[in-house]
């Protein structure tokens, strides 16, 4: 019988550690800084987007496989739909007129 060797998942461990650093960084920015509310929200939002992208590529293997291009197109469409839904909801809640 042939023994299978599995290399150590260096990219996965590094991605996990970077995700932890970003999560704790966001918590520290939110709880321990004297920055303005807007600055804190921008920092947390940016870290969240970077972390989501990191997890998509490292853990969900978006660019691997036969349908790599269609996966990216599907994710782009998902992001577009999410932006339209969130922006539309904010617009209706902010400027909606009740009769």
Residue 97 sits at φ, ψ, to 5 deg, of -100, 135
pLDDT at 26: 93
pTM, two decimals, is: 0.68
pLDDT at 98 over 70: no
**Whether residues 79 and 48 fall in one domain:** no
**Whether residues 14 and 54 fall in one domain:** yes
Q: Which residue's structure tokens are 């800084």? A: 33
How many domains does the chain divide into?
Answer: 2
Structural domain that includes position 23 = 9-60
Which positions ≥6 away from 75 have C-beta within 8 Å? 56, 62
**Whether residues 52 and 74 fall in one domain:** no
Q: Is 3 within a domain?
A: no
Q: Is 4 within a domain?
A: no
| Contact between residue 33 and residue 55 where contact means Cβ atoms under 8 Å apart | no
The token pair at 45 is 């939002």
The tens digit of pLDDT for each residue in 47-63 reads: 999 999 898 888 887 77
Percentage of the chain beyond pLDDT 70 is 93
The tens digit of pLDDT for each residue in 6-65 reads: 788 888 899 999 999 999 999 999 999 899 999 999 999 999 999 998 988 888 877 777
């Amino acid at each position: 019988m042939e023994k299978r060797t599995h290399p150590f998942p260096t990219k996965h461990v590094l991605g996990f550690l970077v995700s932890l650093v970003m999560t704790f960084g966001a918590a520290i920015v939110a709880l321990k800084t004297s920055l303005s509310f807007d600055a804190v929200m921008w920092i947390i939002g940016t870290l969240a987007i970077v972390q989501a992208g990191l997890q998509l590529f490292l853990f969900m293997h978006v660019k691997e496989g036969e349908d790599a291009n269609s996966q990216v197109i599907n994710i782009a469409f998902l992001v577009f739909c999410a932006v339209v839904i969130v922006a539309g909801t904010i617009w209706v809640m902010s400027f909606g007129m009740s009769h």
